[in-house]
Amino acid sequence: MAAFFKSRKAIFLGVAIVFVVIIAVFFTLYSKKDDDKGPTDEYVVSTTYGKLRGTWIDRLPGKKLKYVAFKGVPYAQPPVKDLRFKGPKPMTPWTGIRDALVEGNSCTQAGTIGSEDCLYLNVYTPRLPSAKENPKFAVYVFIHGGVFQYGNSNSNEFGPDFIVSQDVVVVTMNYRIGILASLSLDTDDVPGNAGLKDQLQVLRWVHDNIANFGGDPSKVTLGGQSSGSVSASWLTLLPQTKSLIRSAITQSGTAVASWGLNYKREEFADAVYTHLTGKNSGTVAEKTFAFKEASYLELYYAAENATILLQTTKGVGTDISFFYLPSLEKRQQGEEELLIRNDPESYFISKEANDIPLILGETQEEWTIFYAMQPMFDNEALLQSTIKDLITYVPRSIIPGEDTQKLLAIEDFVSKISVTKLVDDIRDQFFLSPSLPADCNTNCRMSKFMNQVYIMVDSSHMLRLRSKYLSSPTYAYIFNLLSDYNHNRENLPDYLKNDVVHGSDLNYTWRSARNPQDFYGNSTASRAVRRQVTMLTNFIKYGDPTPMPTDVINIQWQPVKSGGQETYLEITDTLTQRSGSMAGPDGDFWARQFETTCRAGKSP
């Protein structure tokens, strides 16, 4: 009997050992790797300031829309108190592990929204480095738009899922906007360009830290849309970014736009001071004290009133510009970094601009959504009054800035330009020409004019500048697809709902919680999302948006190269390469106007 139990015990022991071995082998072979952790798993990454805890996002189980997210990562000290208007200062290191699970504060806007403590970014990565793998994914750093006054980078509007699915690390950011971003006395205390400097600080943070998130700091593409595109465009011109970015994507906005530079920095600051204090004048010290001590709400309303006051002063482009913009910094070097020292064209002529590949995009009817909100819309009396006073809608970039004039030695020539003649020519072209379509009434003509002068004319101007002065290719596109994923249509009257308006291309790149997209479907809209994402991420990864054909891309996108003529890709339900101006049939007219303001052979 003892021998029987002894043999039974040996059998049970043997079975148990075999079972343990099987279980061990199973977990060795089939346990999830670090990059396949579930939604409840945490990830810790080190940065130059301390450790961060992120989390796993699996947007669509079974598909590739999954990644590791680090949200609300501080990239600079909160710009409060004495730092309110200064450029961003390095973050104070922390001890322990900081949660990066929730998006950071929106920056103050619209009077009552957001916080001044808002310098936070988000990082989304397909995989993190591990003992077994050291990925070096290309990186896309994106700047949100909002006319320099509104918005944030939250993932409900800028969901990175589709981009990350193509093995790209995505970085989005909040940055100072409105009066706190743009107010300038051109001093160390209130230097100006705070928002642009925040964005530059993000690029520096990415350069120093992104390798720990699986990104390659030598493969960074900077992008933006609308005012974010103007910012990205400016940053590509500045020497501070030469080691930080290798390419850029600008959508619906450039540094040469009429709303790309504040030409009334001093007048605006003076008007804000007057509305804050009731005083008509003050010393620099008095203005600095007033700006620092005022509450945000007081500053906001003072800036809004200053805007109303200054907009009564008419001149070239005053109605297609505003004041919450980047500005020139002409002071001597002090404590605060100097950023924009010259007008945008001069950076090309002086060869200071980054010579990097660029995607330059716009939509077919950029400004319809905003024009439809104007008092003149469908109001014949106001339309005729506007046409009579058309100088206020003439693009500022049509007359070279002072720095460009000096570089080209054309100051005397420009001073003799007849602005009246220039405006008359523009009025004739768009409103009085007998060749205009008979079925396009005054409202229709003004809409086409507005679409051009706010964005399209300057996109074309930027394309010509790059062709003339840079060697790197420019991939230009006009987005003209209407499908279920277009947004901003709800605010348009019925007869304009088929216009492909400002921002329509965003929903074909970013996942939107407001208008969810099917990335894997076979509808026209779904295929368009895959196509747009593929082209943009190809560019981010390889510097070429169409290096190879795919199921949704059957064309090779032809760039404008050095010395080349304008050409662009028209994006509808198909892809078509077009020759000609991004400003449309009137492009040659605008090009001639730019040439007219400079001596032959020396035009910018």
Residue identified by tokens 């006073």 is 389
Write the pLDDT tens digit of every residue in 40-51.
457 999 999 999
Across 210-233, b (16+ Cβ under 10 Å) vs e yields bbbbbbbbebbbbbbbbbbbbbbb
CA distances (Å), 41 to each of 50, 62, 127, in order? 20, 17, 14
The structure tokens listed for 417 are 């330009």
With b for 16 or more beta-carbon neighbours within 10 A and e for fewer, the 396-406 pattern comes to bbbbbbebbbe
CA distance 53 to 50: 10
How far is it, in rounded angstroms, from Cα 426 to Cα 597? Answer: 14
CA distances from 84 to 77, 302, 508 (A): 10, 17, 36
Q: What is the pLDDT of residues 421-448, one digit of tens each?
A: 999 999 999 998 877 788 889 999 999 9
Q: State the DSSP H helix or E strand holding residue 58, giving kind and residue range, or none if neither.
A: strand 51-58
208 φ/ψ angles, rounded to the nearest 5 degrees: -85, -25
DSSP code string of 320-345: G--SSS-----SPP-SSPP---S-HH
Give the per-residue pLDDT at 31: 38
Strands 137-143 and 168-173: parallel
Q: How far apart are CA 89 and CA 336, in angstroms?
A: 10
Would you state the pLDDT for residue 491? 67
Q: Kindly report the backbone phi and psi dihedral angles of residue 56, in degrees, each rounded to the nearest multiple of 5, phi listed first.
A: -90, 135
Q: Which residues of the chain are under the pLDDT cut of 70? A: 1-41, 488-491, 596-604
Q: Which CATH class is domain 344-600?
A: alpha beta
Q: What DSSP designation does 285 have?
A: H
- Whole-number Å distance between alpha carbons of 226 and 156: 18
